[in-house]
Amino acid sequence: MSSRSSNFLLKSLTLPNGDISDIEISDGVITATGKSLTSKDQSTELDFAGRIVLPGLVDLHTHLREPGKEDAETVLSGSRAAAKGGFVAISAMANTSPVADTAGVVEQVFALGQSAGFVDVFPIGAVTQGLVGETLSEIGAMADSRARVRIFSDDGNCVHDPLVMRRALEYVKQFDGVIAQHAQDPRLTIGSQMNEGEISSKLGLKGWPAVAEEAIIARDVLLADHVKSRLHICHLTTAGGVEIIRWAKARGINVTAEVTPHHLLLSDEYAQSYDPIFKVNPPLRTQRDIEALREGLADGTIDIVATDHAPHPAEAKECEWQEAAFGMLGLETALAIVNQTMVQTGLMNWEAVAERMSIAPARIGKYSQHGLPIEVGSVANLTIIDPLAKYRVDRDLVSSRSRNTPFHAMELQGVIQATFFRGLPTLLNGELISINSYDDN
């Protein structure tokens, strides 16, 4: 069928529940699981003793920059970075140039993802035209397009007008879509540069108060409850925000929330270096906030981990803090950071990681071929990690087109051993392989 094997026997893997199992893959599907399976003719046998296997990772918050900002990232380079990080599906945010507020743009991004052949790329449509928060975008046309958009977000900007937000929630309810809100009151954050607190005062940088995030979250969960529609809160960062989400869920409001790896690990203490690599939107918060986010992720108040992978060209970061762009890379280091902050600390087990980084993101995004149980008949989208191996992050070795990782020179625990997308390895032994390189010869 192929010039490379499309049948694999993965030996001695540790499943999320701790059981040891072999996994047989044939023609893109899991065809057998169990101990002591034997290879069939023309199967490639791979030994993964001591490695954890997860349903392939799914990211609901990725900036791929194409079209229009290809100097920072392309769909191809971002897809390669995703596969290297263990992802099999990513969700491309709408703040491109032109903005993904029409069916034509989302279909372009979708087609570019298919051409890349490393992951499924699902475009996210803009809520409003041009991301300016005034007039709804072509939501229905994007939902009906070949890309079948189900997530809509003005990420990078907040849908600040409550009437526009209400109308958006009402519109997506027709097809069970979801509005993913960037919670940031624009009036409370004019000129803000970092978290408002002792460190911002010490550094003389304009502070970004927690209430600017929490006020929008509170407003929007009430709107979602009123409309009876789905709301998703992007990149939650504050302890107060966690409590609002917890309260909303206790009332049965249909809200989900995400946290980024960098907000699980880094605090505003890093801003004292004045290095813009640590400038991000929303900003790094306090250690107290980090502990609340970890607790919220562990107990399920926060539904998923999403990377908010935000590549920038060098000149956008190698400048004074006030002039630098907000954002940092996240795809290639996400699972290692979750392993280090949540698993190795005893806050979560691997079943919870599978839920937060694969099953729940796929459910929220309506990605039917992803987040499936590791069992016979499921599409073979798999992520394999050595949870004990450590490595040092090197910005010059990332697969992204950009280099703005805040984790450069840090030692992280957890090395991705392999990524299988539709039954074929896109990452194996450190080598990235597009599934489009598998031909029919």
pLDDT tens, per residue, the chain with 441 residues: 344 668 999 999 999 999 999 999 999 999 999 999 998 878 899 999 999 999 999 999 999 999 999 999 999 999 999 999 999 999 999 999 999 999 999 999 999 999 999 999 999 999 999 999 999 999 999 999 999 999 999 999 999 999 999 999 999 999 999 999 999 999 999 999 999 999 999 999 999 999 999 999 999 999 999 999 999 999 999 999 999 999 999 999 999 999 999 999 999 999 999 999 999 999 999 999 999 999 999 999 999 999 999 999 999 999 999 999 999 999 999 999 999 999 999 999 999 999 999 999 999 999 999 999 999 999 999 999 999 999 999 999 999 999 999 999 999 999 999 999 999 999 998 899 999 887 543
All CATH 2.30.40.10 domain ranges in the chain, comma separated? 7-53+376-437
* Residues facing residue 392 across a β-bridge: 411
Q: How far apart are CA 85 and CA 416, in angstroms?
A: 7
Task: Of 17, 28, 10, 77, give the one whose Cα is nearest residue 438.
Answer: 28
- Is there a contact between 348 and 297 (Cβ–Cβ < 8 Å)? yes
Q: Can you give the pLDDT at residue 439?
A: 58
- Report which DSSP code applies to 343: I
Q: Which run of H or E residues covers position 107?
A: helix 103-116
Q: Is 3 exposed, middle or buried (0-12, 13-18, 19+ CB in 10 A)?
A: exposed
Q: Which two tokens stand for residue 32?
A: 């057998």
Alpha helices (H) in 145-191, listed in sequence order? 162-172
Could you give the residue range(s) of every CATH 3.20.20.140 domain in the chain?
Answer: 56-365
Helix 239-250 crosses helix 210-227 at what angle (to 10 degrees)?
A: 10
- pLDDT given at position 340: 97
Q: Please say whether the beta carbons of 161 and 171 come within 8 A.
A: no
Query: How far is residue 361's CA from residue 368's CA, in Å, rounded to a whole number?
Result: 11
How distant is the alpha carbon of residue 317 from its chain centre? 22
Query: Does the pTM exceed 0.85?
Result: yes
Q: Identify which of 157, 147, 163, 170 has the alpha carbon closest to the alpha carbon of residue 231.
A: 170
User: CA geometry: angle at 239 spanning 238 and 244, to 5°?
Assistant: 95
Report how far Cα 284 is from the mean position of its chain's Cα atoms.
17
Question: Residue 1 has what pLDDT?
Answer: 33
Determine the CATH number of domain 7-53+376-437: 2.30.40.10
Q: How far, in Å, CA of 342 to CA of 327, rounded? A: 23
Looking at the domain 56-365, which fold is it?
A: TIM Barrel (3.20.20)
* Contact present, 170 and 162 (Cβ < 8 Å): no
Active-site positions read 308
CA distances to 238, 252, 351 from 246, rounded to whole Å, are 13, 10, 21
Distance from CA of residue 360 to its chain's centroid? 12
